[in-house]
Amino acid sequence: MLENYSPKIRKALKGIKIGDRISITKGKKKYEGLLMPRTETGDSNCIVLKLDNGYNIGVRSEGKIKIEKSKKPEPKEIKEELEFELGKEKFKKIKFDPKKPKVSLIMTGGTIISKVDYKTGGVRALEKPEELLTNIPELRDIANMKDILSPFKKMSEDLNYKDWQILAKLTAKELNKNQGVIITQGTDTLHFTSAVLSFMLKNLYKPVVFTASQRSSDRGSTDAFMNLICSAHTAVSDIGEVGVCMHATTDDHYCFLIRGTKVRKMHSTRRDAFRSINEIPLAKIWPNGKIDILNENYKKRKDEKVVADIKFEPKVALLKAYPGSEPEILEFLVKKGYKGFVIEGTGMGHVPTRAEKTWIPTIKKLIKDGIPVVIAPQTIYGRINTNVYSYLRVLFHEAKAIPAEDMLPETAYLKLGWVLGHTKNLEKVREMMLTNIAGEITKRTELDTFLV
């Protein structure tokens, strides 16, 4: 475990091992704490200590330094924290209260079940996802979460339609015996999974709560605990929809519950990265259990049997139209067996038209051949308009492209895959794409939904 320290440091640390309490005297200063492992990167002459306040500091070895084993015993909680960071902690068995409402927890992968890897400075998966729960005793007061399932462990960028089908089937099964389901995965594609499950779970009137974390649970700034606590409150609430429950702000105040088809990861790292697009979030969920409904337009819990309707056509592509883009990709993908396209158009839905490489004839031909082409808003916020400009009228009324209305491009992509799983009839596809199925199309956008 001393492997990333320089030979000089390793020599000075002879007889001392990771986790030992030591003191370092450097000039007039004395540092005391537990010796920590180093990451592969950074200054290998810098000794990492965990102080009694829980923080880690680096003490650079330069000039004269003296290192000794400390005689003072360390505080118990610090020892425990170190063991957790080193992955050595002994887990208490989790006891749930059988009188609480039953909620199933489906865990698949991602930062929420990871911890910092001191070897690389990166993160690695917890060996047992249940480890996480032992650190959140609050959950036991909310729900009986003894049904913990882990159908697969994958990074979220690697999920595909087969994983979504597994999740939908498992979720339906769990929902039909318990009060709600919480699903955790990596944040990157959380909004893809929440959208596709919104379509796959038919006759849904119970909460399906997606959550995740942007910072692993072994970091002081982790969002995992509050997100899981708020998700548990949501899972026993009266909101019978698929939603994403994540930090609303950078503080640990409350979470937003956002409809599964209207949510997007809008920042690579912030804890409040998930935002509601083109409608206000369904609710504020406070860690103490208070739920402030923000959007009255939600489905209420009912005791109905949910059905997993998982037919899905994976040969759908999500592409971008932009100045300089060429439509020949479409024809190439059709030859490769693709059955439908979602194109992110500019502004209200434009594609290059009078440009050197014009898109409309290609789109028109594909649609004539029975392959649906949906145009979604590249601006993310806002909606497609099929009338304002003359080439919008040509694209939508003459070539018969399908407007995604105010659907997110990602949601339109998953909806089209799901619709094509059910029918290849173009008129039927158009009708289903233009019909609101799971809150993905909002007829009128309220003014206060931009960048909130």
Applying CB under 8 A, what is the total number of residues that bind its own copies?
81
Residues 349-378 close enough to bind its own copies by CB under 8 A: 349-356, 377
Selected range binding its own copies among 70-78, 228-236, 253-261, 324-332, rule: CB under 8 A:
324-332
CB under 8 Å to 44, separation ≥6 — which residues?
Answer: 4, 5, 6, 9, 38
List 269, 303, 369, 443, residue binding its own copies (CB under 8 A): 269
Asked if residue 346 binds its own copies (CB under 8 A), the reply is yes
Residues 7-46 close enough to bind its own copies by CB under 8 A: 41
Spatial distance between the Cα atoms of 136 and 59, rounded to a whole number of angstroms: 33
Give the alpha-carbon dihedral of 329, 334, 337, 343, to 10 degrees.
60
CB 226 within 8 A of CB 138: no
Minimum distance of its own copies from residue 46's CB (angstroms): 17
CB 372 within 8 A of CB 430: yes
Q: For residue 304, what are the CA distances in angstroms to 99, 175, 176, 177?
A: 22, 10, 8, 11
Residues 189-218 close enough to bind its own copies by CB under 8 A: 189, 192-193
Q: Which is nearer to its own copies, 239 or 401 (CB)?
A: 401
List 48, 273, 306, 438, residue binding its own copies (CB under 8 A): 273
Minimum distance of its own copies from residue 377's CB (angstroms): 5
Residue 169 Rama label (left phi>0; alpha psi -120 to 50; beta):
alpha
Asked if residue 284 binds its own copies (CB under 8 A), the reply is no
Minimum distance of its own copies from residue 387's CB (angstroms): 6
Residues 376-395 close enough to bind its own copies by CB under 8 A: 377, 379-385, 387-393
Q: Which is nearer to its own copies, 368 or 393 (CB)?
A: 393
Q: Which is nearer to its own copies, 63 or 447 (CB)?
A: 447
Asked if residue 451 binds its own copies (CB under 8 A), the reply is yes
Minimum distance of its own copies from residue 148's CB (angstroms): 23
CB 441 within 8 A of CB 407: yes
Q: Which is nearer to its own copies, 140 or 315 (CB)?
A: 315
List 29, 72, 324, 427, residue binding its own copies (CB under 8 A): 324
List 202, 270, 311, 424, residue binding its own copies (CB under 8 A): 270
Minimum distance of its own copies from residue 319's CB (angstroms): 7
- 246 half-sphere exposure, CB direction, 13 A CA radius: 35
Q: For residue 42, what are the CA distances in angstroms to 35, 118, 124, 186, 201?
A: 17, 12, 19, 27, 48
Asked if residue 268 binds its own copies (CB under 8 A), the reply is yes
For tokens 């067996």, name the residue.
337
Minimum distance of its own copies from residue 88's CB (angstroms): 21
Give DSSP secondary structure letters for 88-133. -PPPPPP---TTSPBEEEEE--SGGGEEE-TTTSSEEE-SSTTHHH
CB 64 within 8 A of CB 28: no
Token representation of residue 89 = 């902690």
Q: Which is nearer to its own copies, 34 or 371 (CB)?
A: 371
Asked if residue 417 binds its own copies (CB under 8 A), the reply is yes
Residues 44-103 close enough to bind its own copies by CB under 8 A: none
Catalytic residues: 111, 187-188, 265
CB 181 within 8 A of CB 165: no
Residues 110-169 close enough to bind its own copies by CB under 8 A: 120-124, 154-161
Asked if residue 319 binds its own copies (CB under 8 A), the reply is yes
List 72, 296, 323, 427, residue binding its own copies (CB under 8 A): 323
Asked if residue 332 binds its own copies (CB under 8 A), the reply is yes
List 107, 246, 308, 333, residue binding its own copies (CB under 8 A): 333
Q: Which is nearer to its own copies, 56 or 160 (CB)?
A: 160
46 CB burial (10 A radius; 0-12, 13-18, 19+): middle
In 209-240, which positions are buried (b, 16+ CB within 10 angstroms) versus exposed (e)? bbbbbbbbbbbeebbbbbbbbbbbbbbbbebb
The conformation of residue 112, written as its DSSP 8-state character, comes to G
**Nearest by Cα to 19 from 78, 64, 62:** 78
